[in-house]
Amino acid sequence: MEASVEQLVYVREDEYTVARMSAEGMADFVATGRALAGVQPGETLRLFGEWSRHPRHGRRFAATGCERVTPSSVRAIRIYLGSGLVRGIGPRLAYAIVDHFGEATLKVIDAEPQRLTEVVNIGPLRQAQIVQAWQEQKSIAALMVTLQGLGVSPLLAAKIYQVFGQDADEVLATDPYRLIGRVRGIAFRIADRIALQAGVPERSPERVKAALLDRLETAGSRDGHCFVPVSTLVREAAELIEQEQDLVRPMVDALVADRRVVLETAPSGHPAASGQAEQIVAYAKHVHSREVALTAELTRLARARSTLPLRVFRDDPTLHDDQRAAVNMALTSTVSILTGGPGVGKSHTVRAIATTVRAAGGTVTLAAPTGKAAKRLSELTGLPAMTVHRMLAQPPDPDPETLFDERPSQADLIVVDEASMLDLHLATRLAAAVPSGSHLLFIGDSDQLPSIGSGDVLADLLRVERIPRVQLTHVFRQSDGSGIVEAAHRIRAGRMPVTPGRGGFWFEELDDPEQVARRVAHLAMVAIPRKQQVDPDQVQVLCPMRKGDTGATALGRLIQDRLNPAADDKPEHWSGASVFRVGDRVMPIRNNYDKGVFNGETATVTAVDRTERTIEIRTDDGETVAYGFDELDDLTHAYAISVHRSQGSEYPFVVAPIVAESGGIMLRRKLLYTLVTRAKAWVVLVGQREALEVAVHRLGHRRNTGLARRLALSLDS
């Protein structure tokens, strides 16, 4: 039967979809099934399946097949155009267009679009916008059909079109491996399925090379490695394409000849050498280039003669001995590192360093990898701070009242907080922007999680003896009665945290993951807000993993449905398996300088405009920003987030599940330590004691990087 999609009710991560449908001559009904993946309100579908009765939800149509068809009746056309599928046409304009052209409406838009100006309120500019949006929608719909025929999720069609435009069909037909890394959500397996369907031979050199590059990129994105032993790379690529290693090994040399891969010898004693005297390792060319470039830039800075106006520190009686040592180090060393755990006075030390330099007439820039981290640095030091990205992009500031009285990256002293979050790419850009003679001070806690991107920059720098460093160890915040600092230091030392009588840290033991999820949600939504008399927005749920009953996705949706449920008068839009509603708490996960938003900020959805196909958010700083429906991969819900996403941020109250199910692979000391140190007032862990013990005692893997060895050799030469 044919029916129009009125509303998406629910979309699961595996693309199982529940939609409310309408059809001529019958009451509205509900259709379900994975066959509905990617459908949008307003579309007309030809459905295949059978009627069933759900014990709780009643009669519904279980769809086993679905075809998109062009709506033909006036009612269906009006629903289609008024749904917002075609940007620029809302319900009122849709009614006017259909009222004017009737059943011929879509033919007019497609074949005689100039006639749209016959309708009141449609001028040449609006007509051109409608035609462009119509052509895009047609192309995406055709791509969805193509992908379904290849056994690939139709949800990827819009993303492919966004990258390749009108060339998308040609890419799918001739070189689908180009999709890898350029289209979010497409890794090797999906591209390979398309390629094999298109006739690419299983043993083709292009397929083998794509598999090798995929394994290299996955090692970086998943595990943070900069290189992979060639023997491991060949074995994993052969397993991926189910071919023998003898076929794969020569293609490594072919990629070297193509200048896409670089081979080096791992030093004896490096974990990647696996006990051998030496082992050949492979870098993706762009990763190798960055590691070499970062080595050169840090060597340049470390060897440069200081241009700092003041290099002698006057004694400050408010500083501890190790803080004084840190100040002197920052003033006398052009590259240096300040480390320490929570409560040891890193922020006070930074303020002393910056104040000393400015008093001598020098300039200072304070920066951090994320917007939240920069804001927190500013709050703790009382001085302006910015993101590293903004520092690198910002022109000179003409305002003499600010710290940034010249180009920020050209300051006499540049302080980078939360340096454990610096990946290889950002660290290379940062070092390259600093002029010789300026001082670069990295501040971080090496016991926190490393960067999301490849590399382990702070840990590598700490392995180079020639780089000066001071570790602050005297705890100042222990006397404030908070158990958070004590718990963090116990975890750091590999000991189980204990629940102190004075509060701040609490562990609640539960075994069943589903019970853990419900308890975490209740604490975040009800118990803590009621007891502490705060808004639920003050409580942040942090999760070791994204998937599973206690993962960020499931917990976030559970909390969203309770705090901000669907309502007829509340606009919403489904993007994949995520629904964005007015009132939702969201978080940008990528810096966007055109919009002025930064990774880690929190915001609230204030409007969903189906006519213009945009979602409007207001950041906690009061800025209003619009995201197109095709940009929503850059937003995530903030009800529950991964521990990695929380780095650089601090929340009044933190609640987190600790279980050994899907999150077991992520349970390790650095993750637990990072989680606990995100809280200011209280952190509550809920879960299994054995899982907590695993997290405390498991150290995790060391990332494969060559920066420490490379930099040590460079500084010694």
- Indicate if the pLDDT at residue 405 is higher than 50: no
Label residue 209 by pLDDT band (50, 70, 90).
very high
CA 374 to chain CA centroid, Å, is: 17
Label residue 501 by pLDDT band (50, 70, 90).
low
pLDDT tens digits, one per residue of 61-97: 999 999 988 888 898 898 888 888 888 888 899 999 9
366-384 in b/e form (b: 16+ CB < 10 A) is bbbbbbbbbbbbbebbebb
- Give the DSSP H or E segment for 160: helix 157-164
pLDDT tens digits, one per residue of 154-204: 888 988 998 999 999 999 988 999 999 889 888 899 999 999 988 899 999
CA 659 to chain CA centroid, Å, is: 23
Label residue 365 by pLDDT band (50, 70, 90).
very high
Q: Please state the rounded mean pLDDT for residues 376-389.
A: 88
Q: For residue 713, what are its two tokens?
A: 């050799």
Which of 222, 254, 214 has its CA nearest to residue 546? 222
Label residue 529 by pLDDT band (50, 70, 90).
very high
Architecture of the domain whose range is 304-477: 3-Layer(aba) Sandwich (3.40)
Q: For residue 704, what are its two tokens?
A: 């494969």
**CA distances (Å), 84 to each of 38, 96, 112, 142, 162, in order?**
15, 15, 21, 18, 18
Q: Please state the rounded mean pLDDT for residues 356-378.
A: 90
CATH code, 205-295? 1.10.10.2220
pLDDT tens digits, one per residue of 417-433: 999 999 999 999 999 99
Q: DSSP characters for 623-657?
A: -EEEEEGGGGGGEEESSEEEHHHHTT--EEEEEEE
pLDDT at 663: 55
Q: Please state the rounded mean pLDDT for residues 538-550.
A: 93
Cα-Cα-Cα-Cα dihedral sign, residues 379, 383, 389, 395: positive
Q: Which own/partner pairs from 276-283 qualify as long-range (CB within 8 Å, at least 24 positions apart)? A: 279/229, 279/230, 279/231, 280/229, 280/230, 280/231, 281/227, 281/228, 281/229, 281/230, 281/704, 282/216, 282/227, 282/228, 282/229, 282/230, 282/233, 282/252, 283/216, 283/226, 283/227, 283/706
pTM of the model as a whole? 0.88
Tell me if 205-295 shares its fold with 304-477: no
What is the rounded average pLDDT for all residues in the chain? 90
Domain locations along the chain: 1-69, 143-198, 205-295, 304-477, 482-578+629-697
- Indicate if the pLDDT at residue 99 is higher than 90: yes
SS3 436: coil
Q: How many CB atoms lie within 10 A of CB 259?
A: 8
CA atoms of 500 and 683, how far apart (whole Å): 12
Residue with more model confidence, 626 or 56: 626
pLDDT at 176: 93
Q: Which of 229-233, 628-632, 707-711 has the lowest average pLDDT?
A: 628-632
pLDDT at 315: 76
pLDDT at 436: 96
Q: Please state the rounded mean pLDDT for residues 566-591.
A: 92
Label residue 662 by pLDDT band (50, 70, 90).
low
Annotated binding-site positions: 343-347
Q: How many CB atoms lie within 10 A of CB 598?
A: 23
Q: How many CB atoms lie within 10 A of CB 184?
A: 11
Write out the CATH class of domain 482-578+629-697.
alpha beta
- Indicate if the pLDDT at residue 568 is higher than 50: yes
pLDDT at 396: 47
pLDDT tens digits, one per residue of 686-712: 999 999 999 999 988 899 999 999 999
pLDDT tens digits, one per residue of 449-480: 999 889 999 999 999 999 999 999 888 755 44
Which of 531, 317, 298, 246 has its CA nearest to residue 430? 298
Q: Please state the rounded mean pLDDT for residues 489-494.
A: 93
Q: Please state the rounded mean pLDDT for residues 292-306.
A: 97
Contact of 485 with 345, CB cutoff 8 Å: no
286-321 in b/e form (b: 16+ CB < 10 A) is ebbebbbbbbbbbbbbbebeeebeeeebeeeeebbe
Share in percent of the chain as helix, strand, coil (round to 5): 45, 20, 35
Cα-Cα-Cα-Cα dihedral sign, residues 196, 198, 204, 210: negative
- In percent, the amount of the chain with pLDDT more than 90 equals 65
- In percent, the amount of the chain with pLDDT more than 70 equals 95
CA atoms of 398 and 406, how far apart (whole Å): 8
CA atoms of 440 and 444, how far apart (whole Å): 13
CA atoms of 635 and 111, how far apart (whole Å): 37
Q: Which of 243-247, 335-339, 618-622 has the lowest average pLDDT?
A: 618-622
pLDDT at 404: 46
pLDDT at 148: 82
Between the CA atoms of 590, 596, 597 and 598, what dihedral angle is there, to the nearest 10 degrees? 60
The count of C-alpha atoms lying within 13 angstroms of the C-alpha of 627, restricted to the half-sphere facing its C-beta, is 28
Neighbouring-strand partners of residue 340: 472
pLDDT at 150: 84
pLDDT tens digits, one per residue of 22-67: 998 889 999 999 999 989 899 999 999 999 998 888 899 999 999 9
pLDDT at 590: 83
CATH entry, 1-69, from 2.40.50.140, 3.30.420.10, 1.10.10.10, 3.40.50.10210: 2.40.50.140
**In degrees rounded to 5, what are phi and psi of residue 406?**
-150, -175
Q: How many CB atoms lie within 10 A of CB 4?
A: 25
pLDDT at 597: 83
Annotated binding-site positions for ATP: 343-347
